A and B are shown apart, each in its own frame.
Chain A
Amino acid sequence: MSELTPFLGRPGTAHRGQAVVEVTHGIGLHARPSVAFTRLAKSFPCTIEVAVDGSNEWFNGKSIVKIIGARIRRGTRLRIRAEGSRAEEAVAALSELVRRNFDEDRKNGRPDGRPA
């Protein structure tokens, strides 16, 4: 990737962010978690990329096709990086979403493993 285009961030805003977070959700980033992840990612103006720890292949974090294709399973250490306006904020929010198990526990769903 080449150097960044100018951003509109406030002076003093960091333009890069990076974090590593472990995926603890039941299966991993399958359908619903990846929808939550990409929708949140798309709410930020910066570029966002993810990689499975140990791999140098970075995927577009706003593309559900790429996220699903990356097969991010439970136990994976997920690297998230962002560049551009509100990059640090984006990384923090996405890491927090993964730690919160994509808010699935708070949804009605099947909290106690009732059959689908």
Chain B
Amino acid sequence: MGVPMAAPRDLRGRPAAPGRALGAVHRAEERPLPSGPPGESDARAALEAAAALAAGELKALSERSDEESAGILDFQIELLLDGELLAPALERIGKGEGAALAFAAAMNAHMDTIAGGGDAFALRAADLADLKSRVLDALAGRTRADFPQGTVYVGRDMPPSLFLAHDWSGGGGIALSAGSAASHVAMLARSRGVPMVVGLGALPVESGDRLLVDGSEGVVRLDPEERLLSPPPSVVAAPVPYAGVAPRARLFANIDTLADLDTLDPALVEGVGLVRTEFLLPSAAEVLDEECHLARYRRILDRLAGRPVTLRLLDVGGDKALPGLVEGSPASVLGERGVRFLIAHPDLARLQARALLRAAAHGPVSVLLPMVTLPAELVAMAQLFDEEAARLERQGIAFARPPLGIMVEVPASAFTLDLFTQAAFFSVGTNDLMQYLAAAARDNPAVAHLYAGAETAMFRLLEHIATTARAIGRPVSLCGDLAAEPAALSRLLDIGLHDLSVAPSRLAGLRAALAGDA
């Protein structure tokens, strides 16, 4: 070709996840920001469209199935065509519920009706569960848009659900014009070893252009000369000899996805200090399926082989959307997220509580409540767990009532731990606590310096938290990026925070820092 090769050109942003990746650009569609929550008519239309889509899929499937299978599919099609199936869901939408949650709650009620007798009719509940997943998938499909493996994702920002739905095993990286190193997606990228640069401003690239992402330096290179790149950095941390019992700290792992389990040697940790279940179950269909919850929790428990596992209830809202279920919005960082969302949507909370109660029969489970502000929120959730435990007991399903603890990430609760008499333990979420303490959004680059600068206030508060927890005899642990900072380690240990929970990829570095500290 006679076109001269453009010279390589570097653009500087900020490092968000280390490593280098080279690949073809995938430019994300810039969708206009949603103007407020989706309206009722949108939710109705979305649900009806999803039901129609599901019915169409089932008809196509039925036509190429044998008679036995077709009979089962015909049953599901007939259900979908029955106005009575959607009626209770549409009624819930009329009361302001979102489409996915309204539909799932209505389907769960149908299933309860049918499964109640424990006879041949109960088997039909499985068809309803299948149908529920299909419609929820159709609902979520409207917002889900995966991109080719091995490409470099370029966009303004990246929703965590998109990151989680993507298969990163073929490499690739992330280059964002906005974004923040403190965002959830950056946290996920660090934990999965996906190179990521944020704060690049306008990026003059098109889909298909080659782009080098250097997440360690915070730079991307346009028209790179590099042809080949060393394979993506292995997520598995280099084995560091375990120095027996760590001298002053106890290390736990954070788990976001089942893939994290592969990178974790359970023998090297005390247990799992935090499972972010909203990342473990990233689609509406998964999050509204009790059996899916249970299966994933059991995978973690089995892998940990008797070591304790702390699972956090769904923390959705804020910057964490769940397509088809919760629309994320920066504004709701101070609104209905975490336990606030769960209390407002008890059907979802009950579903997860049941799965956790059932999981607790298989291993040592503790449950963490996210974004707790007042003791009444803990009391409400404890009651909900007790009610679901009683229901499981009546149904003869094995369960154990796990201890409930709270995330300490809202300053109001951080200053009043002694009022949370029902809390069995505390876990400090440093990322959110920092953003609320500094009144600086963790994913807003314009205030990143304030977020980082509030460290003195943060350590004073941490000291208060550690002292109060000691005084009332409750264990307290630390999860969040601060726990993984080797530079912060000795200060944390000095104020009495010894239980640290970090991403599997950060364990080796922390262990090395501990060896140096000892």
Contacts of B67-97 to chain A: CB distance below 8 A? 67-68, 71-72, 74-75, 78-79, 82-85
Instruction: Point out the residues of chain B lying under 8 angstroms from A28, CB to CB.
Output: 120-121
B127 and A31 form a contact (CB under 8 A): yes
A71 and B117 form a contact (CB under 8 A): yes
Q: A66 at interface (Cβ–Cβ under 8 A)?
A: yes
Q: B110 at interface (Cβ–Cβ under 8 A)?
A: yes
Q: B124 at interface (Cβ–Cβ under 8 A)?
A: yes
**Which of B72, B78, B79 is within 8 Å of A39, CB to CB?**
B78
Contacts of B117-133 to chain A: CB distance below 8 A? 117, 119-121, 123-124, 127
Per-residue CB contact flags for chain B residues 111-148 toward chain A (1 = under 8 Å, else 0) read 00110010111011001000000000000000000000
Helix, strand, loop or mixed for chain B's interface? helix
A65 and B84 form a contact (CB under 8 A): yes
Query: What is the chain A residue whose CB lies nearest that of B79?
Result: A64
B121 and A32 form a contact (CB under 8 A): no
Contacts of B29-88 to chain A: CB distance below 8 A? 67-68, 71-72, 74-75, 78-79, 82-85
B68 and A35 form a contact (CB under 8 A): no
Q: With the chains together, A62 CA to B79 CA distance in Å?
A: 11
Instruction: Point out the residues of chain A lying under 8 angstroms from B124, CB to CB.
Output: 30-31, 68
Query: What is the chain B residue whose CB lies nearest that of A31?
Result: B75
Contacts of A71-116 to chain B: CB distance below 8 A? 71, 107-109
Instruction: Point out the residues of chain B lying under 8 angstroms from A60, CB to CB.
Output: 84
Q: A38 at interface (Cβ–Cβ under 8 A)?
A: yes
B82 and A63 form a contact (CB under 8 A): yes
B114 and A68 form a contact (CB under 8 A): yes
Q: With the chains together, A63 CA to B127 CA distance in Å?
A: 16
A35 and B67 form a contact (CB under 8 A): no
B78 and A107 form a contact (CB under 8 A): no
Q: With the chains together, A34 CA to B84 CA distance in Å?
A: 15
Q: Closest CB-CB distance, A70 to chain B, in whole Å?
A: 10
Q: With the chains together, A35 CA to B127 CA distance in Å?
A: 13
Q: With the chains together, A30 CA to B67 CA distance in Å?
A: 17
**With contacts A31-B71, A31-B75, A31-B127 known, is A64 near B117, CB below 8 A?**
no
**Which of B72, B82, B110 is within 8 Å of A38, CB to CB?**
B82
**With contacts A31-B127, A35-B78, A108-B67 known, is A68 near B121, CB below 8 A?**
yes
Interface magnitude class on chain A: 20 to 34
Instruction: Point out the residues of chain B lying under 8 angstroms from A32, CB to CB.
Output: 71, 74-75
Most buried by A among B68, B72, B82, B83: B82
**With contacts A65-B82, A65-B84 known, is A71 near B121, CB below 8 A?**
yes
Per-residue CB contact flags for chain A residues 9-27 toward chain B (1 = under 8 Å, else 0) read 0000000000000000001
Q: Closest CB-CB distance, A72 to chain B, in whole Å?
A: 9
Q: With the chains together, A35 CA to B79 CA distance in Å?
A: 9
Instruction: Point out the residues of chain A lying under 8 angstroms from B121, CB to CB.
Output: 28, 30, 68, 71
B83 and A63 form a contact (CB under 8 A): yes
Q: Closest CB-CB distance, B234 to chain A, in whole Å?
A: 47
B71 and A35 form a contact (CB under 8 A): yes
**Which of B71, B85, B117 is within 8 Å of A65, CB to CB?**
B85
Instruction: Point out the residues of chain B lying under 8 angstroms from A62, CB to CB.
Output: 82
Instruction: Point out the residues of chain B lying under 8 angstroms from A38, CB to CB.
Output: 78, 82
Q: Closest CB-CB distance, A25 to chain B, in whole Å?
A: 11
Most buried by B among A32, A62, A71: A71
Per-residue CB contact flags for chain A residues 26-68 toward chain B (1 = under 8 Å, else 0) read 0110111011001100000000000000000000101111101
A66 and B84 form a contact (CB under 8 A): yes
Query: What is the chain A residue whose CB lies nearest that of B74?
Result: A35
A63 and B84 form a contact (CB under 8 A): yes
Q: Closest CB-CB distance, A61 to chain B, in whole Å?
A: 12
Contacts of B457-488 to chain A: CB distance below 8 A? none
Instruction: Point out the residues of chain B lying under 8 angstroms from A109, CB to CB.
Output: 67-68
Instruction: Point out the residues of chain A lying under 8 angstroms from B74, CB to CB.
Output: 32, 35
B120 and A30 form a contact (CB under 8 A): yes
In the complex, the 5 A-B pairs of residues with the closest C-beta atoms, listed nearest first: A65-B84, A31-B75, A63-B84, A27-B120, A64-B78
Given contacts A28-B121, A65-B79, could you give 6 more A-B pairs where the C-beta distance is less than 8 Å? A64-B82, A71-B114, A71-B119, A107-B67, A108-B67, A109-B68
| Residue contacts A-B, CB under 8 angstroms, 9 given | A34-B78, A35-B74, A38-B78, A62-B82, A68-B114, A68-B121, A71-B114, A71-B117, A109-B68
